[in-house]
Amino acid sequence: MMKKKSSPQFDPDALMATAGDKVVARGMDYFLAGAVEIIATEKTRVVARVAGTQDYRTVVCGEDEAIGGECSCPAFERDAVCKHMVAVALAANAALVSGKGVVAGPLAEIRSYLAKKSVGALVEMIVDLAESDAALMRKLEVAAAASGDDPKTFVKRMRQAIDAATQTRDFVEYRRVRGWAAGVNAALDGLADAASGPHAAAVIELADHAIETIEAAIAMIDDSDGHGSALLAHAQEIHLQACKAARPEPKALARLLFLRETEGEYDPFTGAAAIYEDVLGEEGLAEYRRLANEAFDALPPRRGRSGERPSFSVEAWRLTSILDFFAERDGDLEQRIALRAKDGKSQWHYLQLAEFCRDNGLDERALGYAEEGLWLFEDDRPDERLVFFTVDLSLSLGRKEPAKAHLWRAFEKDPSVALYDRLRELGGKDAGLRAVDHLMTRLEGARSTRWHFPADLVVRVMVAERMFDEAWKVIRDHGASRGAQETLAPASETSHPREALEVFEEGVEQLAQAGGNPAYEEAAALIARMRPLRKATEHAAYLEALKARHGRKRNLMQLLG
């Protein structure tokens, strides 16, 4: 009998955090109804059968605050947790805390029964089971092929297993994807078992084939949980292990890996030169570098001031990453900078280049590249990340006036609150007034639409400058969004109570119409804020009118008293 323990096997708080109160409550019902039959108990794992709509195989794993597991029920397929898991955890806890434990269950009895059978009898039993279980049949076929000496038979059987496991026929919905992925994993596991054996050379080709079939299948599954990426990673790891065992010709391997890394739709071979470095050796790495340099030199150059901007190139990004690995391996900082400089297709690329230089202690070059990016793309909308990087680096180098000039150029092209804040920080009140003047000039002739309010920015800047008279005039003349008005109203409620009250009253009306306790509480808070802004008689009259309109909304009426 197991020794009695004072604490449960699965932490109740962790169980609640994992499953939630509703699922825990349902699991408690199953446990109390005696629906759990524990089959096997280990230190951090319990296997059980739970009676429900049908019998479900349920596994609960966990230690300390981490709880997981699996179940054959539909709810687990959907939510990755279920009431059956909770019921099993509660049953295991009850058995452990009571001191009863699990002396033996069906699984222990089965093990004892099988141990008494002859090998021949066991073989017949397994074969009989495999005839009615396609997954078991496939697993045994893979294992049998891997154990044989005939490479042709091995390759044929393994390709059949991979193709059968990865085929989808039609679209695989979310609830079926886990099962599909489990079948693919089973085939890959069989391949992994052979990766270090006499069939290692064949496994290289088979793993590559598996990656191709998985990539083709991903388009036909609901891959919300990322099963496709996990399968590709598994297949790539098998490929690597087989290469380590079989040691293919280095140059041929380099050509295959380079093709997969640069032309693959997905990324299982990203960083292959580094991952396969030991297998490739110096000869294979030299071939990999040659191929990358050749392809990189064929890329179009970065655009000039008047050139057309090329679209983002995945090929360029991949080649840059490959050559950067070799440059870093050589300790060649200048080459790493040159690689990034060639890919100047956007302000973002220049930002990456400048940040790289700065991170390597080259502040002057970093500033030069940042300013070059702003200059080359001066006709485009400024990327504020590059603008602020340039400003911050200029300031750190003691160049305040150039920093202000960069901010003003960006603000005049595409003004924003963030740019205004930095201008105000560096230029003080004069900068704030200049920003207002510029925004007012831009506002002339601009028209508001249902979704666009050109006056919003100037209103927000005027609020920051405490120019409340001017801000309300802008709203009267040009209109503004609800958000801009709600920014101005509380800021100016003391100096402009009438205007603020109009905004607050409209807000209360909208919240009352929306309904729900959170909206009612927000409306009550607004009403309380309105009280000091007018005479008591006026506020009382407003409340009476409000109650007349919304008297049926009892929760709101209770909040209003």
Please report the pLDDT score of residue 109 as a whole number.
75
pTM of the prediction?
0.67
Please report the pLDDT score of residue 313 as a whole number.
72
Please report the pLDDT score of residue 62 as a whole number.
81
165 Cβ partners below 8 Å, 6+ apart? 138, 183, 184, 186, 187
pLDDT in tens, 27-81: 999 999 999 988 888 778 889 999 887 889 999 988 766 788 889 888 887 788 8
**Cα–Cα distance, 462 to 106 (Å, whole number):** 77
10 Cβ partners below 8 Å, 6+ apart? 60, 62, 67, 89, 92, 93
Question: With a cut of 50, which residues of the chain have pLDDT below it?
Answer: 1-5, 103, 304-311
Among left, alpha and beta (phi > 0; psi -120 to 50; other), residue 44 is: alpha
Q: Are 71 and 56 in contact (CB under 8 A)?
A: yes
pLDDT in tens, 188-246: 988 998 899 889 999 999 999 999 999 999 999 999 888 999 999 999 999 999 999 99
Please report the pLDDT score of residue 316 as a whole number.
83
Please report the pLDDT score of residue 396 as a whole number.
96
Please report the pLDDT score of residue 107 as a whole number.
67
Please report the pLDDT score of residue 256 as a whole number.
95
Please report the pLDDT score of residue 134 as a whole number.
67
